[in-house]
A and B are shown apart, each in its own frame.
Chain A
Amino acid sequence: MKILVTVKRVEDYESKIKVKPDNTWIVTEGVNYRANPFDEIAVEEALRLRDANMPSEVVAVSIGSGTAQAEIRSALAMGADRGILVKHDGFLDSDAVARILVKVVEKEKPDLILMGKQAVDVDDNVCGQLLAEYLGYGQATFASKKESLESAEEKAKKPGLKLGADKKTMQVVREVDGGVETLELQLPAVVTVDLRLNIPRYASLPNIMKAKKKPIEEIAPGVDVSPKVKVVKVEAPPARAAGVKVPDVATLVQKLHDEAKVV
């Protein structure tokens, strides 16, 4: 099977995020960049599915300026077979991203599109669903699995998504409110992954070296990318007033009762 997996270049969540003084965006100087952590889970799942269902191919796609090559390389170093960079400078809303990905899907005709459920920069959680609707495909958001991340299945790096015997369907466990749901998708389909689907692997040094020789094709967006949703202002969140330390449980209860009036 052919799996298309997205890797977005995002600010490292361990970097300190500061809002620009003119409130147009965040300060990007001095910030580290990395692949979106949810996308890394998608890459890991793609690799497991490939290895369990040979012959298969994993294609990693990113949209951005030339610097996004780095995130495609990191997916290649994890084990993806080749990369596609859709070159575009500047902000894209999720709708434009979805419409660009439609073009990539039309070109590549994958059996499965795997994406992170959201990118940890804009935290939209809409792109995969938009893509599925534009393509007329079924979708499973919040993909997870019933086994924990400390289970034997996880240690054996088994895929959490189960390809049907006829290779035309896929079973996906989803985290929803109040429990977990299992769906069967007709392929091709879009699956967006949640945290507990797997633990992504680290790239080994030999694989990092190998990744340098893997091909990355550069293409143009091929669609009108004018946004349906514009960011007009970015502000710092309201700060919480500093609290106090209490010496013991009795003082805590007294303050909760008399001061905060919550117990």
Chain B
Amino acid sequence: MATILVVGEQAHGQLKKATLNALTAAQQLAQKNGGQIHGVVVGGAGEELAQFVQNVHFVQNAQFEHALAETHAAAVAEAAKKIGATDVVIAATAYGKDIAPRVAAKLGAGIASDVLAVVSANQFKRAMWAGNAIATVEVTTPVKVITVRTTEFPVAQKAGSPGQAQQLEVAAPQAKTKFLEFNEVKSARPELTEASVVVSGGRGTKGDFKPIEQLADVLGAAVGASRAVVDAGWQPNDLQVGQTGKVVAPKLYIAAGISGAIQHLAGMKGSKTIVAINKDPEAPIFQVADYGLVADLFKALPELSEEVKKLK
């Protein structure tokens, strides 16, 4: 009988939403392999995860305060061994990508990363070549680790009755890594990967993001950026949308002054409706856009903001 361990992610003791996307993937897997789902979360939020999963194990002591891959992977692997997990499911966030392979190595498991779909008990779909091909991969080991692309799995709902959170005692390994500092990028806007509307700017902004931000605020949207913008230091790194940045799939994605390099498209072409605004009618972004407008973004975006305001 399969036992699936879904790994929670938390910050400041609060469960991150990505965990609930991973839980949906775990539920889909349980449908394929008849498995039972357990949860584990390291550093806090055990009770919160138990709102969604019946059996939750949490690891909480000072040695696990910072999300070091060495210690957190060790704790997750311990939990997996304790419950005899056959599958470990983690969201493919920066945290999940950091720890999941180490968990796999500890368990002698094969790992399928950034999974888009659960095909069967041991086969998964994932993107390769910047999304230019979709591969079905088979994990051949008795224990499997998968990380899942959060935009491909909806958020799981709360369980009918809350489950139980039990503390798991794990001796932290002597870490060879020391946490020094975290510089948070604060924003009043929704988080890029969670927003239902995203307004992104590219090289065409020449670094002036005022019209992008103004439209984003009218729409209650998150702000995104192309690689060129981030490389130039015009916007912080964590706003980058693309295969090498964040993968987003909002209801509405507006790309302004973005030419549409393959690697950018790989990060947003799963969006439901795509709008492209660009001065260059030949820009590749128009090939994936549902609605294309050939225009100067400095003129079109303020107009768009005004028109949308009128609707509201």
Contact = CB atoms under 8 A, between A and B. Distances in A.
B133 A130 contact: no
B282 interface: no
A156 interface: no
B30 interface: no
B17 to A, nearest CB: 11
A175 B238 contact: yes
B175 interface: yes
A69 interface: no
A121 B116 CA distance: 17
Contact of B111 (A19, A151, A229, A248): A229
A237 B233 contact: no
Contacts of A205: none
Interface in B99-113: 99-102, 104-106, 109-113
B238 A123 contact: no
Interface in A1-39: 11, 13, 17, 19, 26
Contacts of B167: none
Contacts of A250: 307
Given A95-B110, A180-B183, A195 B105 contact: no
Interface stretch (A58-66, A136-144, A211-219): A136-144
A6 to B, nearest CB: 15
Interface in B186-204: 191, 197
Contacts of A17: 129-130, 132-133
A183 interface: yes
Interface stretch (B20-28, B34-42, B266-274): B266-274
Contacts of B290: 240, 243-244, 260
A262 B130 contact: no
B73 A240 contact: no
A73 to B, nearest CB: 24
A14 to B, nearest CB: 8
Nearest to A11: B129
B199 to A, nearest CB: 12
B110 A228 contact: yes
Contacts of A98: 105
A50 B235 CA distance: 31
Nearest to B227: A195
Given A176-B94, A233-B135, A243-B286, A121 B101 contact: no
Given A177-B94, A230-B137, A262-B251, A186 B104 contact: no
A195 B104 contact: no
A126 B104 contact: yes
Nearest to A176: B94
B121 interface: no
B172 interface: no
Interface in A181-236: 181-186, 189, 194-196, 227-236
Contacts of A180: 182-183, 185, 237
A182 B178 CA distance: 9
Contact of A256 (B106, B191, B273): B273
Interface stretch (B78-86, B154-162, B291-299): B291-299
B253 to A, nearest CB: 10
Given A139-B69, A195-B244, A243-B291, A186 B233 contact: no
A124 interface: yes
B182 A181 contact: yes
A151 to B, nearest CB: 7
Contact of A126 (B101, B269, B289): B101
A178 B180 contact: no
Interface string B196-239: 01000000000000000000000100000001001111000110
B288 interface: yes
A182 B112 CA distance: 28
Interface stretch (B43-51, B54-62, B138-146): B138-146
Interface string A94-125: 11001000000000000000000000111111
B138 A232 contact: yes
Contacts of A183: 68, 177-180
Contact of B98 (A124, A129, A148, A178): A129
A134 B101 CA distance: 10
A179 B184 CA distance: 4
Interface string B146-176: 0000000000000000000000000000011
B128 A132 contact: no
Given A183-B180, A235-B133, A196 B237 contact: yes
B95 interface: yes
A165 interface: no
B275 A133 contact: no
B135 A120 contact: no
A94 B111 contact: yes
Given A123-B114, A123-B127, A141-B98, A237 B252 contact: no
The 4 closest A-B pairs by CB, nearest first: A148-B233, A228-B110, A129-B101, A138-B176
10 contacts: A128-B101, A141-B97, A149-B233, A151-B233, A184-B178, A186-B176, A196-B230, A227-B110, A243-B290, A256-B275
